[in-house]
């Protein structure tokens, strides 16, 4: 079988499909809340979320399958884990990425591909807004807040990828002069501290986040009214848990390795460099 190279079409299709399905599911989350987690308060809160769903529903003419959510809503939700699985399976690490990866590390690497699509989407929204605002003099009511919303996802999800790539900020002045056994102790201490912080954060705020923000589907309160509080705050807790788990995986994977193996000696992607040279006609 011919070995795939980084940047094949699958590495674009699967992240794009996942972002599309996830975006659809998030936008229609009030329908899932009404169907799967109905509120005890059948007067005010249920009516409020129902009104949000009716106002934001992209396919209002489709009937619900089991209640409020229609067939497209359920299809997007069901397809997400399958797309994620095949996206992870088809992933080919780039030359400039951390090469000492395991199969489970590909999950974080695929998250990095999702972030790539989100950055492209965010940039496209910004360019569109610049065009309609200054060329057509018809600014939108949604571009700025959509950019802010996507930027929050990019900022948070990038942390998972950065942890797997060992590209987060680290200071080695004292660490490098320590014997290996003392380095192991330092590694254990910082992973324990990270897990302690993650547990405290989740334990201390999960009720505020998931009950008051997500379950009540708190929105931004503007003309576009995106559910930024209802999505970004739960994402913070989810991402800190993913980062803590990835840190533990890194600790286990790097335990028997020489520290010099974990330092990237060549941060230049040679394939990309050659492509740039060809594009400018350099030899």
Check whether 173 has a pLDDT greater than 60: yes
Check whether 262 has a pLDDT greater than 80: no
Check whether 61 has a pLDDT greater than 50: yes
Q: Tens digits of per-residue pLDDT, 5-39?
A: 666 788 899 999 999 999 999 999 999 999 988 87
Name the least confident of 65-69, 72-76, 257-261, 276-280. Answer: 257-261
- Read off the pLDDT band of 42 (50, 70, 90): low
> Which residues are CB-neighbours of 115 under 8 A, at least 6 positions away?
153, 154, 157, 158, 161
Mean pLDDT of 258-269: 58
Task: Give bridge partners of residue 70 from the DSSP assignment.
Answer: 64
> Which residues are CB-neighbours of 148 under 8 A, at least 6 positions away?
228
Query: How many CB atoms are closer than 10 A to CB 227?
Result: 20
In the chain, what are the domain boundaries?
1-92
The token pair at 233 is 């705050």
Its pTM stands at 0.86
Strands (E), the chain: none
Which residue, chain included where needed, has tokens 């490098």?
A: 176
């Amino acid at each position: 079988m011919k070995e795939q190279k980084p940047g094949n079409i699958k590495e674009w299709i699967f992240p794009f499909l996942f972002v599309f399905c996830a975006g659809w599911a998030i936008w229609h989350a009030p329908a899932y809340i009404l169907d799967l987690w109905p509120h005890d308060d059948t007067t005010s809160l249920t009516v409020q979320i129902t009104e949000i769903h009716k106002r934001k529903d992209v396919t209002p003419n489709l009937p619900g399958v089991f209640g409020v959510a229609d067939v497209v809503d359920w299809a997007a939700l069901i397809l997400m884990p399958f797309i994620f699985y095949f996206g992870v399976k088809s992933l080919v690490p780039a030359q400039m990425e951390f090469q000492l990866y395991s199969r489970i590390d590909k999950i974080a690497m695929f998250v990095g591909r999702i972030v790539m699509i989100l950055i492209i989407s965010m940039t496209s929204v910004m360019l569109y807004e610049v065009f309609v605002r200054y060329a057509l003099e018809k600014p939108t009511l949604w571009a700025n807040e959509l950019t802010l919303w996507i930027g929050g996802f990019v900022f948070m999800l990038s942390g998972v990828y950065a942890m797997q790539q060992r590209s987060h900020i680290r200071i080695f002045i004292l660490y490098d002069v320590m014997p290996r056994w003392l380095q192991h102790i330092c590694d254990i201490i910082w992973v324990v501290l990270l897990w302690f912080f993650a547990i405290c954060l989740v334990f201390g705020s999960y009720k505020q986040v998931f009950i008051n923000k997500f379950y009540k589907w708190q929105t931004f309160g503007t003309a576009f009214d995106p559910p930024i509080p209802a999505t970004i705050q739960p994402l913070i807790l989810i991402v800190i848990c993913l980062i803590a788990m990835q840190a533990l995986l890194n600790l286990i994977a790097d335990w028997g390795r020489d520290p010099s193996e974990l330092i990237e000696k060549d941060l230049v992607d040679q394939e990309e460099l050659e492509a740039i040279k060809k594009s400018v006609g350099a030899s």
